[in-house]
Structure 1
Amino acid sequence: MNSPNDTDVDAAPTAPAGGCPMALSRGRVGLDVTTEVSQLRDDGRLGRVTTAFGQEAMLITRYDEVRAQLADTHVFHVGSVPPPQVLVDGGFDTESVRRRRTVGNLIMLDPPDHTRLRRMVAAWFTTRRVERLRPRVVEIITAALDEMERNGPPVDLVSMFAKTVPVTVICELIGVPEELRERFRSRATRAATSSAVSTPLEELRRLGEAGWVSHELVAHHRANPSDDIIGMLLREHGADGHANGITDDELVGLANALLIAGHETTTQMLSLGTLALLRHPDQLALMRDDPTVVAGAVEELLRYVGVLHGGFIRVATRDTTLGEHEIRAGDLVVPALAAANRDPQLLPDGDRLDITRPPTSHVAFGHGVHFCIGAPLARMELREAFPALLRRFPGLRLAVPESELEFTQGTTVYALRSLPVTW
């Protein structure tokens, strides 16, 4: 039986353990998973990652084991991860830290609170509801492409297109007024891209800044009733004594999580996905010219790119097993999503991009009760954005050598800082 001590994987510093995914990005360049993590997976071993705050977690890399861990919310809890000792020793109010990362945050809550809050907003992200948004999303995409064309090449695809489209879509859906959007965009981006050298205090301040924007949003919507998500939550669930009510703190946490999760991952899927297609001109041309392959191509890009290195850290609440591995009560575990999506168990040629392959049951959106609630929206945006970009600029290509591209290190979301393109 394999031991979790077989291999140590040095993880870059992250936000306080239990608050952000482990930083599995150090050493990752380009679109492939690091050799070290891939080797762990292929050998069937568990790795260990250590946060900057001294907590060690077991790294789950095999596809079947990742799915099993994500599905088992009875054993593996995300909201019960203990605070790192460095915060305790530093005199932090650990209960305040716990509340800041969990209250209202669907990603960081376990059932039944997770179930109660998810039901409040689930109807906004159904395939049918999202389909009604398609005309407006197409307008937003067209406007961004028009601006790129007016600007003329070269342009940074990240700032002019990949960020612009998802930010505008999620801000309109949630209800972020124009005057707050730039502040939200910059702060939400910082919240999703934690620094590799941040201190605990800096990380807490970073998360608090994003939450402050959501507090301001709630105040704005109380004074200006609306038909967006925040307006609906206040109208239908915000009344005092409501049987299915939501507190102000929960509303802030929920809005904050939806805003952050609703744009940064889609931004980087557009950026990194475009890079992947530029590396494979034949597949780029197929996606541009054949509408029948677009839906499958998006699924393949989601699997292949690996925007999220890992899922959120969880704690085992009792002794259990994952595959052949023994997990003890109190052990911390984190799933390596990007590695799992390339597991030979899932696909024998998982390191190869093939947009014509049948869709796979990838874990790019997670699995189980924490499966990304915004997946239908993200899929629709990507299915519209990629073909529109490639058709508008059929000669799209990199404006700099690929070796000059800079990828973020030590972040929640794997990201390109910029993607200079020309046509």
Structure 2
Amino acid sequence: MAAAAGGEWAAVSASSAGEGTWRVEALGKQQLMRRTGLRVRDLRALLDPAAQLSHPTSVMGRDRAVVFNLHRVRAVITASEVLVPAPRDPSVAPLVGELHARLAAAAAAAAAAAASPPEEDGKALPFEFRALEVCLDFACPRDPAVAPLVAELHARLAATASPPEEDGKALPFEFRALEVCLEFACKSLDHETCMLEKEAYPALDALTSKVSTLNLEHVRQIKSRLVAISGGVHKVRDQLEHLLDDDADMVAMHLSEKLAFQAAVGQSSRFDTEEEPGEFDQQRDDDGDDDDQGEGSVPFSPKIDELEKLLEAYFVQIDGTLNKLSTLREYVDDTEDYINIMLDDKQNQLLQMGVVLSTATLMASCAIVVTAVFGINIHIALFRTTNTNIFWFANAGMLGGAAALFVVAIAYYRKNGILR
């Protein structure tokens, strides 16, 4: 735990000028607690491998930070920066790059919107007008003209692709960072699901056409991966559903509004560097008696519509991934049922072959019994004959009788449905 908490962290932030910055810092446990206001148990749930087994997924809102831990995406989100542990890990580096690019682009778009003159009616231009404006800028002939046009279209339209908020404000920093983390986790699960689908369906079809040890082992590995990915998707979906059902957790994630509210009412930070920080909601409940006895204070109750829409969008996305896995699981189950039917049919054929062989053995045993009777040391007239053809007649009679009995037995089996 000490090594994990004292390791390297990537601090990603976006300045007001629209220039995103990020750096690698070595932070200890106490430094993280003072910087983010988290408790020791929050850091354990984020960093300690043993705690991750008992709390594998969590999105916890605290007074000054949001602890994000979904599908190997770990981050601490504050109102001004995002802290990501182990940034040099190859699996974590893409997340840091995506956070830096997206947060910097959002800050640059906000800065450009603030610098540009407002429209007469206060509304942004429609999509088709913005596209027409870019095309008119490139109306003069150039060589080549297509590539710059496409690049400029992509740059401008991507910067203004998101619809304006109802109140005309952009999403807070913590919501943009939370969106990037959610998108990274959902895309990671969806990518794993797509890769599994590409590998699973051909392997299942090959097993259907030929049941072999190699194909069975391949399908077994695929089913193990399917169970693991399904478990991760279920955990993410359950966590998002829990957040959507709990308004208190969504209220706790409004870090920027919370800081503005505390500044407006003249409250200083509730955290003391010498003590362990507590949750905002718990402190508010603990201080409720004092507030009621005093002159009265306005409770912190932000609008959760924006965050609710954000969580619902990724809930629908992860639910679609879960539907893909459910379809694949059904296909696996259908293949297993088909293989079991094939194996049962083979087993029935073997049983029928065993009945045929047992009947043939019984008829041969009857002929052997006749031979044994003739081999008894007794005196009969047949033994004193000098005609050698009697030997062949006797053998032919025993074999013919055994064959006739065999045919009669097979006909009886078919008539009664024992053999097909």
Q: TM-score, normalised by structure 1?
A: 0.27
- Greater Cα radius of gyration, structure 1 or 2: 2
